Amino acid sequence: MPDSDILIIGGGIAGVSTAFHLAEHGRSVALLERGEIASEASGQNMGGLGGAGWGNAPDLLAYLTMGSLEIFKRLQIDLGHDMEFRLSGGLTGIHTEDQYNFIRDRVLSLKSNGFEGELLTPREARAIEPEANPDLLGYMYAPKRGQADPVKSTQAFANAARNAGATINTGHEVLSIEIRADGTYAVQTNHGEYNSETLVIAAGAWCGPVGQMLGLRIPIVPVRGQMWATESLPPRIFHDISSAESSFTWSSDNGSDDTTPPELTHKGDQRFTRHLYGRQRKNGEIIFGGDRQDLGYDFGIDATGIEVNRGHASEVVPLVADLPIARTWSGLMPFSVDGSPIIGKIPLRDNLHIVSGLASAGFGKGPMAGKLAADYIHTSHMPHVLAESDPARCVTEAE
């Protein structure tokens, strides 16, 4: 069976970006994906990306969002992969006086720290997004938000990785992992054994079970997100669309405890807040989603949640109230229990790395997360911004 220096488990955006950047460094790298490329969260997400800018003192969030934006530009514009990427900008609807005051303070704070964001009147918002609700109190405009097609983009990273020399094996499920006496890894799959010196876990919401194969406890919780789409329409919505409701709620109570990640929409079965994100795809479908619920590995669609989300979307873009729902889907997001990414070396085993915990924003953060992980593996030096995501803070021996 083929041997490589580095073996990556998981063909989502985190894994394929890590493979691409390692291959560009000239490293021998193979990736094992049990399904197809982008068959889980990386193919099921809304496709929103970007952030608020680099700021005066870029932290990990700025690196992951803005660095990824540059990598999306590089793959589509410089390397010629069609990802339906565009820097669309984002609009966040403000529904109440309290939300307005919160967003006004947030915009002031962003600007004073070198980030970008504007508070718009409904009239100003409707000049750039004609379907925006004129009856809301205002909108926050984020010029550095963008969008891309999740499946096409993730596949583009896999193709770029292959072009750079990586081996991408789909339909390869990792069943068990043995650490040999010399510290190398023997990984058993449904297609036989793969050997490597370095192992990278990029298994998204399944990092926990993969960690168990190594006797480790990786605190990643699978969180269900669900989405719905209208039939295709001519272009009507041009920005990423969201609402200030959830960020306002989470600013006073992020809902977390020792076992529950922050910023979910539900506490157990009870709705805690409404979260919203959406856009119109190039094929004309208008898509929205937002719920984040910890239900274990249950993917089933909750029709009530979809209706709540549709009502929320209609408050920001009234035209969707009258459009029938053509399809729904769901996926599992990899939330770390403390809410921060887990990217870097796991010191409890030799040459073991992880790229995960990208939660609800991994499509937009995954490309740079993979690059930083690849740089760390290639140079054996931790990029300084990864101090914030150090796995040593939370990955432990399994009990």
Give whichever of 100 and 373 is closer to ligand FAD, judged by the CB atom. Answer: 373
Q: What angle do CA 193, 195, 198 make, to 5 degrees?
A: 140
| Token pair 């718009």 in the structure block, residue | 120
Least distance between ligand FAD and beta carbon 390 (Å) = 18
Q: In 113-206, which ranges are continuous DSSP H helix?
A: 122-128, 150-163
Give whichever of 46 and 100 is closer to ligand FAD, judged by the CB atom. Answer: 46
Give whichever of 212 and 379 is closer to ligand FAD, judged by the CB atom. Answer: 212
The interface with ligand FAD within residues 128-187 (CB under 6 A) comprises: 173-174
Least distance between ligand FAD and beta carbon 314 (Å) = 19
Give whichever of 110 and 333 is closer to ligand FAD, judged by the CB atom. Answer: 333
Position 333 contacts ligand FAD (CB under 6 A): yes
Q: Whose CA is closest to 390, among 349, 362, 360, 355?
A: 355
Sketch the per residue contact string, 364 through 393, with ligand FAD: x for CB under 6 A, - otherwise.
x-x---------------------------
Determine contact, residues 277/91, Cβ cutoff 8 Å: no
- Which residue among 90, 305, 331, 341 contacts ligand FAD (CB under 6 A)? 331
Query: Taking every pair of C-alpha atoms in the chain, what is the biggest distance, in angstroms?
Result: 68
Identify residue 82 by its one-letter amino acid code: D
Give whichever of 100 and 129 is closer to ligand FAD, judged by the CB atom. Answer: 129
Q: Whose CA is closest to 318, among 148, 162, 134?
A: 134
Identify residue 229 by its one-letter amino acid code: A
Position 309 contacts ligand FAD (CB under 6 A): no
Q: Whole-angstrom Cα distance, residue 319 to residue 159?
A: 38
Write the CA distances from 28 to 4, 73, 85, 342, integer angstroms: 5, 26, 29, 24
Least distance between ligand FAD and beta carbon 150 (Å) = 7
- Which residue among 241, 358, 373, 374 contacts ligand FAD (CB under 6 A)? 358
The interface with ligand FAD within residues 5-64 (CB under 6 A) comprises: 9-15, 32-35, 39-42, 44-49
Give whichever of 41 and 60 is closer to ligand FAD, judged by the CB atom. Answer: 41
Least distance between ligand FAD and beta carbon 375 (Å) = 18
| Token pair 């909108």 in the structure block, residue | 139
Q: Whole-angstrom Cα distance, residue 98 to residue 117?
A: 19
Sketch the per residue contact string, 215 through 254, with ligand FAD: x for CB under 6 A, - otherwise.
----------xxx---------------------------
Q: What does residue 149 show for φ and ψ, rounded to 5 degrees?
A: -80, 125
Q: Whole-angstrom Cα distance, residue 84 to residue 86?
A: 7
Q: Whose CA is closest to 20, among 385, 377, 371?
A: 371
Least distance between ligand FAD and beta carbon 108 (Å) = 26
Question: How far, rounded to the nearest angstrom, does the alpha carbon of residue 340 sit from its chain's CA centroid?
Answer: 12
Least distance between ligand FAD and beta carbon 121 (Å) = 26
Sketch the per residue contact string, 261 through 280, with ligand FAD: x for CB under 6 A, - otherwise.
----------------x---
Least distance between ligand FAD and beta carbon 226 (Å) = 6
Q: Whole-angstrom Cα distance, residue 335 to residue 281?
A: 26
Write the CA distances from 90 to 11, 67, 207, 327, integer angstroms: 28, 18, 31, 24
The pair of structure tokens assigned to 386 is: 């990864």
Q: Segment contacting ligand FAD (CB under 6 A): 51-59, 160-168, 356-364, 386-394?
A: 356-364
Give whichever of 110 and 151 is closer to ligand FAD, judged by the CB atom. Answer: 151
**C-alpha neighbours within 13 Å on the C-beta side of residue 164:** 23
Give whichever of 100 and 316 is closer to ligand FAD, judged by the CB atom. Answer: 316
Contact footprint for ligand FAD (CB under 6 A):
9-15, 32-35, 39-42, 44-49, 173-174, 202-206, 210, 225-227, 277, 289, 331, 333-334, 356, 358-364, 366
